[in-house]
């Protein structure tokens, strides 16, 4: 009986470790998604600003410490591609979060089962 209890404790600790790891992974994905969403918002604002400009307007791109003149259509194209890329990354992070939450729920269920095995059986009255 004690040997079985010891084995259940080891399994319980293993599941708890995996549950906590999944929790940390979810937190990392959420933080990454938040950063990406901030970048996406920023790029959408830039795109709106570029749409206001007239053809032939001077546009400069910051490359390192230097401002480099850039064509309006090239700038619009670059920003649009960046928005597409960031949007795809946000979706990828959301998928990862959903998958990790499912995994975490499985660990939670297994932890519940293991904890019930650890509980002493109820005394019949």
Q: Is 25 a member of any domain?
A: yes
Residue 36 located in a structural domain: yes
Q: 78 lies in a domain?
A: yes
Q: What is the per-residue pLDDT across 79-113, written as a single tens digit (0 to 9) for each? A: 999 999 999 999 999 999 999 999 999 989 988 88
DSSP 23-78: HHHHHHHHHHHHHHHHHHHHHHHHHHHHHHSPTT--EEEEETTEEEEE-HHHHHHH
Q: Which residues of 30-49 are buried (b: 16+ CB within 10 A; e: fewer)?
A: eebbeebeebbeebeebeee
107 assigned to some structural domain: yes
- Domain housing 36: 2-116
The verdict on residue 121 lying in a domain is no
Question: Could you give the number of structural domains in the chain?
Answer: 1
Task: Indicate which CATH number applies to the domain containing 33.
Answer: 1.10.287.370
Determine how β-strand 66-70 pairs with β-strand 59-63: antiparallel
State the pLDDT confidence band at 1, using cuts at 50, 70 and 90.
low
pTM of the model: 0.78
81: tokens are 């591609």
Is 123 inside a domain boundary? no
Mean local confidence (pLDDT), 4-9: 78
Q: Is residue 122 assigned to a domain?
A: no
Q: Mind listing the pLDDT tens digit for each residue in 35-69?
A: 999 999 999 999 999 999 988 889 998 999 999 99
């Amino acid at each position: 009986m004690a040997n079985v209890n010891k084995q259940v404790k080891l399994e319980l600790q293993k599941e708890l470790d995996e549950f906590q790891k999944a929790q940390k992974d979810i937190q990392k994905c959420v933080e990454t998604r938040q950063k990406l969403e901030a970048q996406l918002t920023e790029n959408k604002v830039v795109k709106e600003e570029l749409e206001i400009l007239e053809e032939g307007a001077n546009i400069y791109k910051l490359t390192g410490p230097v401002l480099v003149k850039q064509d309006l259509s090239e700038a619009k194209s670059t920003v649009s591609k960046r928005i597409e890329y960031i949007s795809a990354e946000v979706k990828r992070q959301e998928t990862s979060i959903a998958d990790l939450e499912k995994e975490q729920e499985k660990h939670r269920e297994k932890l519940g089962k293991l904890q019930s095995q650890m509980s002493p059986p109820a005394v019949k009255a």
